């Protein structure tokens, strides 16, 4: 039995996927009206319309009831809500329960990754697995092919969860680099906003490809500084997720960049999206981390300047093009 915490598009898609595979799931959300609609409609009309909940997926109004008896608690909340959710879960968790998270974000003020926040709130008794990779909720729920990474410091936990998720058209791989996998999942959202800004300004496919490639270099730079393995960023949770999120308009983060580049104020663009764009918060967190770690992350920094300092998208992207020349191996090119 799974307890899925967060009934947005991705939480619902995972519940549907697990249910189709024959794994019962209880689906809880903090919004009681939303849960009531799930119960009456047997469908998430707000975030994942047109997809019926399998009979073994049961929406729950009470968190305690959702968690009771679960083998695995799977968190799919906005990253900004994770610490508070861990605190609510702590008295409800019992020894032997498995804990995993499919949210992709960083805690803004602390810069902590999800497994680090979990360790602070829950201690060492509940190691966390991270689920990440290039996945859109609508496609997973529809049974279309996808591949994901399940990462944990506990090989037993990663293997157990991968076996449960590896079903139908979803292929699950395991990794021991939870830091790298979490960094990739969080920071690609910032670069995706940058890709949206570039495309919204009409800069074209060449510019998008360059931004994706140099954005990946920034992700690797930050991830390695935080303790991740460089090789992890060439995998599903790094390059795979980045390529998907930068190139397809199903991405909320890419759409946010498109809207802002075309003149929509950030707050209005977020309202029009109707769902959380994690890159907004990740841009702030990455900005703080780059200062703390003394890292040069120019694309991420310019996305931060647009979203949080109100700078003009056209001017910041032109500023990127006017930076001093460098070789691809990061060594500055001497002036002629």
Please report the pLDDT score of residue 323 as a whole number: 82
| Mean pLDDT for all residues in the chain | 95
pLDDT grade for 59, boundaries at 50, 70 and 90: very high
Question: How much is the average pLDDT of 158-175?
Answer: 97
Please report the pLDDT score of residue 335 as a whole number: 39
Question: How much is the average pLDDT of 290-312?
Answer: 97
Position 216 pLDDT exceeds 60 = yes
Please report the pLDDT score of residue 332 as a whole number: 42
Please report the pLDDT score of residue 267 as a whole number: 97
The superfamily in CATH containing domain 2-178 is: NAD(P)-binding Rossmann-like Domain (3.40.50.720)
Rounded distance between C-alpha atoms, residue 78 and residue 84, angstroms: 11
Query: Hey, which residues are catalytic here?
Result: 188
The tens digit of pLDDT for each residue in 62-110 reads: 999 999 999 999 999 999 999 999 999 999 999 999 999 999 999 999 9
Question: How much is the average pLDDT of 318-330?
Answer: 78
Cβ atoms of 77 and 5 within 8 Å: the answer is yes
pTM: 0.94
Q: Domain segments of the chain: what residues?
A: 2-178, 179-321
Please report the pLDDT score of residue 326 as a whole number: 78
Q: Which residues contact 40 (CB under 8 A, 6 or more apart)?
A: none
Question: How much is the average pLDDT of 54-68?
Answer: 98
Say which residue the tokens 């890709």 belong to.
Answer: 195
The tens digit of pLDDT for each residue in 123-157 reads: 988 999 999 999 999 999 999 999 999 999 999 99
Position 318 pLDDT exceeds 90 = no
pLDDT grade for 319, boundaries at 50, 70 and 90: confident
Please report the pLDDT score of residue 225 as a whole number: 98
pLDDT grade for 330, boundaries at 50, 70 and 90: low
* Percent above pLDDT 70 for the chain: 98
CATH class of the domain whose range is 179-321: mainly alpha
pLDDT grade for 336, boundaries at 50, 70 and 90: very low
């Amino acid at each position: 039995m799974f307890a899925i915490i967060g009934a947005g598009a991705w939480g619902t898609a995972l519940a549907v996927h697990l249910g189709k595979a024959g794994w019962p799931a209880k689906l809880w959300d903090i919004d009681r009206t939303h849960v009531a609609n799930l119960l009456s409609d047997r469908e998430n009309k707000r975030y994942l319309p047109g997809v019926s909940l399998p009979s073994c997926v049961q929406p729950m109004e009470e968190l305690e009831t959702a968690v009771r008896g679960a083998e695995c608690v799977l968190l799919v909340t906005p990253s900004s809500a994770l610490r508070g959710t861990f605190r609510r879960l702590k008295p409800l968790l019992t020894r032997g329960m498995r804990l995993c998270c499919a949210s992709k974000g960083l805690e803004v003020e602390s810069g902590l990754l999800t497994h680090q926040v979990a360790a602070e709130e829950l201690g060492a008794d509940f190691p966390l697995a991270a689920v990440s990779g290039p996945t859109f909720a609508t496609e997973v729920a529809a049974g279309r092919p996808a591949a994901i990474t399940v990462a944990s410091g506990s090989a037993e936990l990663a293997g157990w969860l991968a076996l449960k998720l590896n079903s139908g058209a979803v292929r699950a791989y395991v990794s021991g680099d939870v830091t790298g996998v979490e960094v990739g999942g969080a920071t690609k959202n910032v670069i995706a906003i940058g890709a949206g800004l570039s495309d919204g300004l009409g800069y074209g496919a060449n510019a998008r490809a360059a931004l994706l490639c140099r954005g990946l270099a920034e992700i690797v730079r930050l991830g390695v500084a935080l303790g991740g393995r460089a090789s992890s960023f060439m995998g599903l949770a790094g390059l795979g997720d980045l390529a998907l999120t930068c190139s397809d308009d199903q991405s909320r983060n890419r759409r946010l960049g498109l809207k802002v580049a075309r003149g929509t104020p950030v707050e209005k663009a977020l309202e029009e999206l109707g769902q959380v764009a994690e890159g907004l918060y990740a841009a702030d967190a990455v900005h703080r981390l780059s200062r703390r770690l003394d890292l040069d992350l120019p694309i991420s920094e310019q996305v931060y300047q647009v979203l949080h300092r109100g700078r003009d998208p056209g001017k910041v992207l032109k500023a990127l093009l006017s930076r001093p020349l460098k070789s691809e191996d990061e060594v500055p090119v001497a002036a002629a």
